[in-house]
Amino acid sequence: MLQCTKDTDISILPWASTDGADHSSTRRMENIMTTEINLDTTTAALAEAFKSVQKLEVPPAARDFVKRTVSAARDRASEFKAGSESTTAALETAATDGIREAAKVARDIQQAIVDDTLALLNGFDQLASAQTLSEAVEINTGLLRSQAELLLSRTKSTTEYLGRLVSDGAKTAQDQFSKIVPAGKAA
């Protein structure tokens, strides 16, 4: 206990006695439960309530709403399946086209290497047949000129090929996208 100057007891603990006496049975906040529950009547009441819930009718509007929702969900599932099949086909087409073009480029590069090797060997053969130094310089100049023209021609062909490849790729992607997302459905 604390003492104030006005001789008033201040209790630190709310259940502590202010008169200084020691009470063994302090008043508690909880109420003791004295009511017994009859299990038979409770079970019977629950069974009766369950029977009445079983007889409860679902309104026709609720049943109709559920049927329409299920039907719409089925339609969306079918649309999703069609869209996923279209997407798979578009990816398959893109992959196939990419592999086909890569194979074509590889074959073209191989052919260019063979052509360059044969041209170099023919050049060596022509140089070997030269009888004078001026004739060898003339043959070498002709070979360099034809090699430069070939390089210029290949550069032009490569540029045209890449432009066509990008244009065709963009058109294919646009066509495939239009198959996936029908007109008017784009978000």
Phi, psi of 2 (to 5 degrees): -110, 145
Q: How many CB atoms lie within 10 A of CB 181?
A: 13
pLDDT in tens, 6-28: 555 554 555 555 555 555 555 55
pLDDT in tens, 89-134: 888 888 888 888 888 888 988 988 898 899 889 989 998 988 999 9
Distance CA 176, CA 97 (A): 13
Which pTM does this prediction carry?
A: 0.48
